[in-house]
């Protein structure tokens, strides 16, 4: 049966900046690949009904896997919902990711639910990967660097 992971964090950044990091290809390659992987965004059409194509490459072995998805819901600064699927036929099925953002006193509360993880991927690997990615996301969105710095 496909797996589900749920994550919850509070980041010291405005919701609009976090939202942007999920849709900006240059930001995505910096934070989304888990430790030990590099990323490349091949296509990006950030609108409802549009989609993206991306790949992660294992830095140590050079092997890579590609995946892509379709944006189902985009509410700036509040919510993103998209479908995700691997290009590898050995990892069939469609996953759905929902990212909810809520402004709180010290920044933004972020909740992520990823559903439909293929059976051959242990959910704890997805959970660990998301934890690593969210740590990297904080490095991208939390610094408040003025222009010209």
Q: Can you tell me the distance from the alpha carbon of 124 to that of 131, in angstroms, rounded to the nearest whole number? A: 10
Q: Would you state the pLDDT for residue 1?
A: 67
Strand pairing category for 64-75 and 51-58: antiparallel
Q: Is 56's pLDDT higher than 90? A: yes
pLDDT at position 121 over 90: no
Q: What percent of the chain has pLDDT over 90?
A: 86
Q: Kindly report, residue by residue over 69-116, the tens digit of the pLDDT.
A: 999 999 999 999 999 999 988 888 899 999 999 999 999 999 999 999
| Spatial separation of the C-alpha atoms in residues 104 and 9, rounded to whole Å | 11
CATH fold, domain 3-34+72-141, is: Alpha-D-Glucose-1,6-Bisphosphate; Chain A, domain 4 (3.30.530)
State residue 29 phi and psi, 5-degree precision. Answer: -70, -20
pTM, entire model: 0.93
């Amino acid at each position: 049966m496909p797996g589900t992971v749920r994550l919850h964090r509070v980041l010291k950044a405005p919701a609009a900046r976090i939202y942007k990091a999920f849709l900006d290809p240059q930001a995505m390659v910096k934070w989304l690949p888990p430790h030990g992987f590099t990323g490349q965004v091949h296509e990006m059409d950030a609108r409802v009904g549009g989609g993206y194509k991306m790949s992660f490459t294992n830095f140590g072995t050079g092997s890579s896997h590609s995946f892509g998805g379709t944006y189902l819901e985009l509410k700036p600064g509040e919510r993103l919902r998209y479908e995700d699927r691997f290009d590898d036929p050995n990892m069939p099925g469609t996953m759905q990711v929902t990212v909810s953002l809520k402004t709180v006193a010290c920044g933004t509360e972020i909740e992520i639910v990823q559903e439909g993880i293929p059976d051959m991927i242990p959910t704890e690997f997805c959970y660990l990967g998301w934890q690593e990615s969210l740590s990297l996301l904080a490095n991208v969105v939390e610094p408040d660097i003025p222009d010209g710095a």
